Structure 1
Amino acid sequence: MTAWNGTDLSGIGAAEELDLESERSDGSLRAPVTLWVVRAGDRLYVRSVKGVDGPWYQGTRTRHRGRVTAGGVRADVTFHDAGPGEYADVDAAYRAKYGHYTSIVEHVLTDAARASTLRLEPR
């Protein structure tokens, strides 16, 4: 696992939204998708409201690589499936950061959304 530097971790973790571009099989980037991003400890995570069937999530499965832009940071990343042991911390981070969106935040706290949790690591 590659660690984020403190500035990038803080910048991305504090951003309200993140733009994610996943890599196609030919190495080109797909169009950016805007997502919520959370920080749990020294790690960054995203989830698909539609779970593993979500189109942007499916795009990450091709090469498990892409680019994110948030909080003044643009970084090439790898996408890693988060394990069930990480879900509780990620749930708590979503509630803490986006809980004021009461009717929306619950959509990223379902079992289907949890199954799509990706950890973003710099490359």
Structure 2
Amino acid sequence: MTTWNGSDLDKIGAAEELDLQSERDDGTLRAPVTMWAVRAGDHVYVRSVKGPDGPWYRGTQTTHQGRIEAGGVRQDVTFREADSAEHAAVDAAYREKYGHYTSIVEHVLTERARTSTLRLEPR
């Protein structure tokens, strides 16, 4: 597993939103999807409100690779399914970062959303 450099991790973690593009089988990138992302420890995570049925999430499952852009950082990434042991820290990170959106943040804290938690690893 490749790790983030500290500067990029800080910038991505502080960014309000992240643009994610998943890679198709032919190596081309899908259109970017803007979403929330959180930093928990030394990792970056995203979740689909619609869980594994979310269109952008399904796109990440084709090659498990893509590109993100946030906080001035553009990085090719690998999409790794987060272990359920990581979910509590990711929940806490979403609450801390986006808790001021009280009626919205709860949507990324459901069990359905948790099952789509992806760890973004630089490549």
Per the normalisation by structure 1, the TM-score is 1.00
Q: Distance in 1 between matches of 2:38 and 2:105?
A: 12
Q: Distance in 1 between matches of 2:7 and 2:28?
A: 27
Residue in 2 that maps onto 1:83: 83
What CA deviation, in whole Å up to 9, does each residue of 1:5-41 have, x standing for no partner?
Answer: 0111001011000000000000000000001000000
Percent identity, please.
76
Aligned length: 123
Secondary structure of the residue that 2:49 maps to in structure 1? coil
Q: Distance in 2 between matches of 1:44 and 1:82?
A: 10
Structure 2 letter corresponding to 1:120: L
Residue in 2 that maps onto 1:34: 34
Per the normalisation by structure 2, the TM-score is 1.00
Cα RMSD over matched residues?
0.3
What CA deviation, in whole Å up to 9, does each residue of 1:49-78 have, x standing for no partner?
Answer: 000000000000000000000000000000
Q: Which runs of 4+ in 1 moved over 6 A?
A: none
Residue in 1 that maps onto 2:55: 55
Q: Distance in 2 between matches of 1:35 and 1:52?
A: 15
Give 1:86 shift: 0.1
Residue in 2 that maps onto 1:107: 107
